[in-house]
A and B are shown apart, each in its own frame.
Chain A
Amino acid sequence: MSTVYSKEKSGSDLKGGSNQKAGSDLRIEYQKFISRKMLFLLILILGIIGLAGYAATRGSADISVTDVYATILAKFFPGHFQTTWFSDTIVWGLRLHRILLAIVGGIGLAVAGAVMQGILKNPLASPFTLGISSAAGFGAALAIIMGAGFVGGEWLIIGNAFVFTLLASAAVYGLAKYKGITPETMILAGIAIMYLFQAMTSFLQYVGHAEQVQEVVFWMMGSLGRSSWEKVWMVTGVIAVCFPYLLLKSWDINAMGTGDETAKSLGVNVERTRVVSMMLVSLITAAVICFTGTIGFIGLVSPHITRMVIGGDHRFLLPASALVGAMLLLGADTLARTILAPVILPVGIMTAFLGVPFFVYLFMRRKKEFW
């Protein structure tokens, strides 16, 4: 974060260097500009905390709000709060890791989308339009259909999905490298890979047993119902490792937005940034969707929603999209598991129901083009 700040400072120095008076005016305006974005981030963080706090109290088990918080706090201050075995199991064993997976999963998918849209300069780029999710689906289908009959094979499915996701991004990179890495070739390569993996999954489903096909469908259906603490830690770990680098590179991504030539003249190693960022976001996407299945939409739309509110500066766009993604996914999942309780709706339905109207609202309100 400190590096970002120093870059920000040098940026403002650059802008305000010529005239002292105009410079200080500009600096004040810039500060205002920045503080607006900071405020947005703050609101999002508070919103997520509030939503998580609300979500933790919702569920079929009749546990009162005070009991829920006592149970949560008892973990941190043992001896000070009374809790029961039942509420401990429900809150810690069922609700909290699901809430956290929604938050980190939303962060991961939204960051992946924001970075892909940034480095490829294309508003339609997302983990799903670039073939990454269809690769995960294929990996899972392969494990399910070819490794039929295995038990406790959940990790085999997850591992396979993960490996194929990375293979897909390597293939996208390989194809693009062969033809020279421009955003267009990368997107074309991604779309080609997506079709290939979809076809291969369809083929597997064709040869597979009806019930295996059903298992593939079930796996691919986005859901947070498979969450557990260990999965939360794994996703968090991957994001914690990858996100700082992406944040460091946000200035470079900004520069790349003005065109590869301009970015190069500013000293940005365009190809390396594009490749490394692409690899990191693939890793993040893989880590998320191998546990949740296909949750589309978040990666595509969270960056757009954020861009409409605070603009396209990736130093803010990345963390803010991450938080918007977290909020969308958490909100959708909370709604999905409470609206028709005890029935749990597939979360993908809810993300679209929640996100699309909001997206359209922002879209209609915006007078000028945002992209």
Chain B
Amino acid sequence: MYKIQREGFDDRIWGIRMKIIFGFSLFLCIFYLLGQAYAYQDVSVPGDANGDKIVSADELSAAENDFKDGKISEQALESIRIIQSSYPRRINDSTGKEITFYKPVERIAVLTTEDYEVLRTLNSTDKVVAAGKYVVQSREQGCGDLYIDGKNLVNIGSPTSTVDWEALIKTKPDLVITYMSSPKQADLDQNLKDTNITVIRLDSGNISQYLDIVNKMGYLLDRTGEAETYSRFFEEKLGKYLDAASSISVSDRPKVYLEADFGGGQTYYTCGSGHAHNALLTAAGGNNVFSDLEGFKQVDPESVAMKNPDVILRYKYLKDSPGIDKDLSDTSALQALRDEMLGRAELNKTPAVANKKVYIFTWDCTKGGGRFFLGMGYLGKWLQPEIFKDYSPREAYQEYLDQFQRTKVDVVNKGVFVYPEA
């Protein structure tokens, strides 16, 4: 009796279990199919019938027939025509990776201020849907009104510390633009794995890549005219001076010690080859005394004294003071940094300190267009004063901001970027 009861009970349990398993599997299948459908929708290229992401001539004529039958709109047909005639487009990003675009980029998330400026130069900010915190919170992040036009964009955080992945995915960008090495590739792969977001890494802080990047992005975004205008402007304003500086032989260049001061009381950190600051000072006609080192390193103070630099450059990041929008006379912070350097006993006998060729430059000089028109300009005036004697960093930067960035920031009568002013 007991056994029979028990068997009945077991059967019931078994039945319930089967139902649960079946129901759960069904649930999973539905979600999987939905997910697939959603994903397919994302990759799909308008007019592409066979799923190869490319619109062939046959596919275009099929679309034309659909249009005649009233199945698609004229607008849709037009975009299929564009895709058929000029896509796929391929560009190599700054890491050398070839990236293929099968349809026009409509929505861009840009993590860096440098690339936001490139997009402004290319008149393409209407495509930007999300940006890093330095753009969105321009004032709070110490950038003054430099990126104030981006204040309504979705804030996706900082590429170097924390990216807000959910906010990023929610804005459904076709394209994300970021730095060469941050965020890490593994983080990108992990967080964007189920999306069809294309990521390109651009080295827009690198003078040797910048014009190439502007041209590539111009091609990708159908803004080749703007790219050409910028290239001409750059060449005329700054390029010719840099070309002259680059032709100077190493022996004729001043020996430069560059100290990158990131605070914390740690001194004697310098930038060797492969570091962006080394590229800046070399392009401006200097000879880095630590070019034999790789990257960012702390060096022995004695070795700096032994290298006998002709010029000492100190790069300092200071968030609010000084910077953009500051009064021209507000130089005390930079002056203190210079005095500290001039007061280092071990460097006392170097030509740089003896001749007071010690210069301080700040963060504003090393970001976006400021990096080139201000930063490179000032470095040029300090390192190759003869070549750069007609060049005015502030005026060139102002022209760039007015003409290509369309901002209302005054960098001629305001702002403290370097000390002493060249």
Contacts and interface: CB of A to CB of B under 8 A. Distances in A.
B336 A151 contact: yes
A32 interface: no
B320 A344 contact: no
19 contacts: A61-B303, A94-B301, A152-B336, A152-B340, A158-B265, A209-B141, A211-B363, A212-B319, A214-B317, A218-B263, A219-B263, A219-B266, A220-B264, A225-B268, A342-B290, A342-B293, A342-B303, A343-B293, A344-B299
B300 A337 contact: yes
Given A89-B348, A211-B317, 9 more contacts: A60-B302, A90-B305, A93-B346, A151-B332, A205-B161, A210-B161, A212-B319, A223-B298, A344-B268
If over half of A's interface residues share one DSSP class (helix, strand or loop), that class is named, otherwise mixed; here it is: helix
A293 B349 CA distance: 31
A214 B302 contact: no
Nearest to B337: A151
Interface size band for A:
35 or more
Nearest to A59: B302
Given A211-B319, A212-B319, A213-B161, A154 B302 contact: no
A62 B320 contact: no
A341 B300 contact: yes
A225 B162 contact: no
A60 B306 contact: yes
Nearest to B318: A149
Interface of B: 141-142, 158, 160-162, 262-268, 290, 293, 297-303, 305-306, 317-321, 332-333, 336-337, 340, 345-346, 348-349, 363
Contacts of B262: 211, 214-215, 218
Interface of A: 59-62, 85-86, 89-90, 93-94, 140, 144, 148-149, 151-152, 154, 157-158, 205-206, 209-221, 223, 225-226, 293, 337, 341-344, 346
B336 to A, nearest CB: 5
Contacts of A212: 263, 319
A217 B265 CA distance: 11
A87 to B, nearest CB: 11
A354 B338 CA distance: 38
B268 A60 contact: no
A99 to B, nearest CB: 14
A216 B264 contact: yes
Contacts of A85: 349
A218 B262 CA distance: 7
Contact of B264 (A206, A219, A343): A219
Nearest to B134: A210
B302 A61 contact: yes
Given A154-B265, A211-B317, A93 B162 contact: no
Contact of A215 (B263, B298, B321): B263
A144 B263 contact: yes
Contacts of B290: 342
B349 A59 contact: no
Nearest to A216: B264
A94 B300 CA distance: 10
B319 A60 contact: no
A341 to B, nearest CB: 6
Nearest to A218: B264
A215 B260 CA distance: 12
Given A209-B141, A226-B266, A59 B161 contact: no
